Amino acid sequence: MINDLFSKIDNEHDLTKADICELLTLNDQQQLYILYEKADKIRKKYVGDEVHLRGLIEFSNYCRNNCHYCGLRRDNKSIERYRMTHDEILQVCSLAQKMGFHTIVLQSGEDPYYTVEMMENLIRQIKQNFDMAITLSIGERKRSDYERMFNAGADRFLLRFETSNRQLYAKLHPDSDFNHRIKILTWLKNIGYQTGSGIIVGLPGQSIEDLAEDIMKFKELDLDMIGIGPFICHSKTPLAGSKNGDIELTFKVIALTRIVTKNTHMPSTTAIATLRPNGGMEQALGLGTNVVMPNLTPIKYRALYEIYPSKASIDEVAEQTHVRIIKRINSLGRLISKDYGHSLKKRG
Ligand code: 5AD
Ligand code: SF4
């Protein structure tokens, strides 16, 4: 009975995989409303009303990998590639500081051009010049690289496991091994990074069971941050012609992830804002998420970072996006955080 599951949530009892599967198949609007309300309440109780803004810098769209869903995959010869210089990145950090950001997210494809020495220098300079937490999202490297970048001052690292279905993972990631990826996540935590992961909802071949398993995996990994977005089909990839992920299913996965993991930081992702430009961001903030990552990549590069097509705020300058997002968050009655927005998990 659905009411039994709802009271299990209210009493904060652990949900089983079967419970999660049942809740993921809810379709009744009234019941979905109740589920989202419960996720929102747990968000409020565990991470409060503050929304953390993280300024996103997509500093290189070169990638050595060939993930089947992604427009930046190396075999996509139809995009122009770019790399931002050290100085260009620092300029964006300076802008971010002026705009009041307390975290900068450095994201790129897996681009070995940026050696660990270059990353260390960049991280040190950002830390010297700006009062800012640094999140890295640059893919797989060797363990000593993660250690060196952490010692240089990086605070957080994002590495999605994308799907916990091993067969599907292997099929979609010709260059990456699932077990190794999970191992990297444990390295990152042990090194001391606030560690984030996440998944894509609606990958071709992904089942409801897989998504329930993903949610259990989030909990097992004891993550600090979890990013969840719908699959968006890109025509220049092997998945061309596939259906986009379902936004409602994405919302259910987010709500249940909040209910299960409680005090994690969860972004209202760009993929959501892309599939639902009018109101998607706000909806996700109302059912469990508490982070927004405005895009600060210089306009001349923005359209080239085409993970998927028609990415949200592709031609809007950073200042405009910022004002628009703050207005929309305030209109929800939520506050903009004034601190770094570090993990709320106690470690030690
Ligand atoms: N649709 C949705 N998300 C995607 N990503 C990459 N390609 C797509 C796509 N076509 C996500 C991956 C990656 C993150 C940076 O973007 O989850 O980890
Ligand atoms: Fe490269 Fe990341 Fe895209 Fe995979 S998802 S092709 S690693 S940019």
348 pLDDT more than 60: no
Q: Is the pLDDT of residue 314 over 80?
A: no
Average pLDDT over residues 54-70: 98
Bridge partners of 201, per DSSP, are 230
Of the listed ranges 11-20, 43-52, 286-295, 314-323, the one predicted with least confidence: 314-323
Mutate which of 59, 61, 69, 201 for ligand 1 pocket (most atoms within 8 A of beta carbon): 69
Looking at residue 347, its pLDDT comes to 65
Strand, coil or helix: 114 = coil
Find the 200 Cα to ligand 1 centroid distance in Å.
7
For the Cβ of 56 lying below 6 angstroms from any atom of ligand 1, the answer is no
Q: In this predicted structure, what is the pLDDT of residue 315?
A: 74
Q: Where are the alpha helices (DSSP H) in the chain?
A: 2-10, 17-24, 29-47, 86-99, 116-129, 143-152, 166-172, 178-191, 208-221, 247-261, 270-275, 280-285, 299-302, 318-331
231 lines ligand 1 (CB under 6 A): yes
Q: Which amino acid is at 81?
A: R
Atom of ligand 2 nearest to the CA of 173: 4
The mean pLDDT value for 241-266 works out to: 98
From 169, 199, 293, 308, give the residue whose CB has the most ligand 1 atoms within 8 Å, as the site to mutate. Answer: 308
Ligand 2 site, CB within 6 A:
63, 65, 67, 70, 72-73, 109-110, 139
Report CA(201)–ligand 1 centroid distance (Å): 10
Per the structure block, which two tokens stand in for 321?
Answer: 């996006």
* Ligand nearest the Cα atom of residue 140: 2
Among residues 31, 103, 125, the alpha carbon closest in space to that of 296 is found at 103
pLDDT of residue 318: 85
Could you give the CA distance from residue 89 to residue 64 in angstroms, rounded to a whole number?
21
Q: Whose CA is nearest to atom 8 of ligand 1?
A: 70
Q: How many CA atoms lie within 13 A of 280 on its CB side?
A: 21
pLDDT-derived band of residue 1, with 50, 70 and 90 as boundaries? confident
What's the pTM value of the predicted model, to 2 decimals? 0.97
Q: How far, in Å, CA of 162 to CA of 125, rounded?
A: 32
Among positive and negative, which fits the CA dihedral 141, 165, 58, 257? Answer: negative
